[in-house]
Structure 1
Amino acid sequence: MIILRDFKPQDAPHIINTLNDEQVTRFLSSKIPFPYTQADADWWINQGSKNGIIKAIVVNEQFAGCIGITARRV
Structure 2
Amino acid sequence: MESVKLEVQNVVLRKWQKGDEDSLVKYADNDAVAKFLKDSFPKPYTYSDAVNWVRFANRTIDSYNLAITLNKEVIGAIGVERQKDVYRKSAELGYWLGEEFWNRGIMTNVVKEMVELAFQNFPIVRLYAYVFTGNKASTIVLEKAGFELESIQKSAIYKNGQFMDQLVYVIVRI
1:35 aligns with 2:74: no
Greater CA radius of gyration, 1 or 2? Answer: 2
CA distance in 1, matches of 2:51, 2:71: 24
Of residues 12-21 and 59-68 in structure 1, the stretch that sits farther from structure 2 once superposed is 59-68
CA distance in 1, matches of 2:73, 2:24: 12
Q: 1:44 aligns with which of 39, 53, 57?
A: 53
Identity of aligned residues (%): 26
> Which has a greater percent of helix?
1
1:70 aligns with 2:81: yes
Unpaired stretches in structure 1, ≥5 consecutive residues: none
> Which has a greater percent of strand?
2
TM-score, normalising length from structure 2?
0.39
Figure out how many residues of one structure are paired with residues of the other and give that number: 73
Unpaired stretches in structure 2, ≥5 consecutive residues: 1-9, 88-174
Between the two structures, name the one with larger relative contact order (CA 8 Å, sep ≥ 6): 1
Compute the RMSD of aligned alpha carbons: 1.5
TM-score, normalising length from structure 1?
0.81
What's the offset of the Cα at 1:21? Answer: 0.5
- Contact in 1 for aligned 2:24/2:75 (Cα 8 Å): no
CA distance in 1, matches of 2:47, 2:23: 11
What's the offset of the Cα at 1:7? Answer: 1.2
Aligned to 2:22: 13
